[in-house]
Chain A
Amino acid sequence: MGVYLAQFLSGLASASALFLAASGLSIIFGVTRVVNFAHGSFYMLGAYFGYSLVRNLGGGALGFWVALLIASIAVGLVGLLVEVIILRRLYKAPELFQLIATFGVILVIQDVVFWYWGAENLLGPRAPGLSGIVRIFDVPMPVYDLALIAIGPLVLLGLWLLFNRTRWGVLVRAATEDREMVGALGVNQSLLFTGVFVLGSALAGLGGAIQLPKGDANLLMDFGILAEVFVVTVVGGMGSIFGAFLAAVLISELNTFGILVWPNGTLVLMFILMAVILIVRPTGLLGRPETIGQKTETGPVEVVLPAGPHYKIFVAVVIALLALLPLLVDDFILVLVTDILVLALFATSLHFLMSTGGLVSFGHAAFYGGGAYAAALLVTYAATPFELALLLAPFGAGLLALVIGWFCVRLSGVYFAMLTLAFAQVAWSVVFQWSDVTNGDDGLLGIWPAAWASGTATYYYVAFVVAAAGIFLIRRVVFAPFGYGLRATRDSSLRAAAIGIDIKRQQLAAFVFAGVMAGLAGGLFAFSKGSVFPDEMSIPRSFDALLMVLLGGIESLSGPVVGAAAFTWLHDELITFEYWRLLLGVVIVALVLLFPQGLGGAARHHVGRYLKLEASPGDLRSATPKREQRA
Chain B
Amino acid sequence: MSFAEARTAGSPALSVSGLSKAFGGVQAVKDVDFQVAEGELLALIGPNGAGKSTCFNMLNGQIRPDRGSVKLSGEELVGRSPAQIWRRGVGRTFQITATFPSMTVAENVAMVLMSQARELFSFTRSAVNRHRAKALQLLDMVGMAGQADRPCGVLAYGDLKRVELAVALGNEPRVLLMDEPTAGMAPRERVELMGLAARLAHELDVAVLFTEHDMDIVFSHADRIIVLSRGELIAEGDAEQIRSDPLVLKTYLGEGQVYGQDKKPKD
Residues of A within 8 A of B (CB): 301-304, 306, 473, 476-477, 479-485, 487-488, 490-492, 494-502, 506, 509, 513, 619-620, 622-626, 628-629, 631
Contact = CB atoms under 8 A, between A and B. Distances in A.
Interface in B73-108: 81-84, 86-87, 91-92, 94-104, 107
Interface string B139-167: 00000000000111110000010000001
Contacts of B103: 303-304, 484, 487-488, 491
Contact of A488 (B100, B121, B171): B100
Contacts of B84: 500
B115 A499 contact: yes
19 contacts: A301-B101, A302-B102, A303-B103, A304-B103, A476-B123, A477-B123, A479-B127, A484-B111, A485-B111, A485-B120, A492-B101, A495-B99, A495-B100, A499-B167, A500-B116, A501-B83, A624-B153, A624-B154, A626-B97
Interface string B239-251: 0000000000000
What does DSSP make chain B's interface, helix, strand, loop or mixed? loop
B170 A499 contact: yes
A513 B111 contact: no
A492 B115 contact: no
B120 A501 contact: yes
Given A304-B102, A498-B98, A631-B267, A482 B153 contact: no
B153 A625 contact: yes
Given A481-B125, A498-B60, A499-B86, A487 B96 contact: no
B211 interface: no
Contacts of A488: 100, 103, 111
Contacts of B2: none
Interface of B: 53, 57, 60, 62, 81-84, 86-87, 91-92, 94-104, 107, 110-112, 114-116, 119-128, 130, 150-154, 160, 167, 170-171, 267
Nearest to B164: A495
Given A487-B103, A628-B96, A500 B125 contact: no
Contacts of A624: 101, 153-154
A97 B154 CA distance: 26
Contacts of A481: 114, 119-122, 125, 127, 130
CB-CB nearest 7 A-B residue pairs: A623-B153, A495-B98, A485-B120, A491-B100, A623-B151, A481-B119, A303-B151
Contact of A622 (B111, B154, B160): B154
B94 A495 contact: yes
Given A301-B153, A500-B86, A500-B115, 9 more contacts: A303-B104, A480-B125, A481-B121, A484-B120, A484-B127, A496-B100, A498-B86, A499-B111, A500-B83
Given A301-B102, A623-B102, A477 B124 contact: yes
B98 A492 contact: yes
Contacts of B150: 619-620
Contacts of A623: 101-102, 151-154
Contact of A476 (B98, B101, B124): B124
A629 B154 contact: no
A470 B150 CA distance: 31
A484 B107 contact: yes
B57 to A, nearest CB: 6
A492 B152 CA distance: 12
Contacts of B86: 498-500
A380 to B, nearest CB: 32
Nearest to B116: A500
Contacts of B87: 500
Given A497-B82, A500-B83, A625-B101, A513 B153 contact: no
A302 B154 CA distance: 10
Q: Which of B87, B100, B102, B103 has the largest count of A CB atoms less than 10 A from its CB?
A: B102
Contacts of A303: 102-104, 151, 153
A421 to B, nearest CB: 27
A517 to B, nearest CB: 11
A623 B102 CA distance: 8
Contacts of A625: 101-102, 153
B153 to A, nearest CB: 4
A88 to B, nearest CB: 28
Given A301-B153, A500-B86, A501-B115, A480 B100 contact: no
Contacts of A626: 97, 99, 101, 153, 160
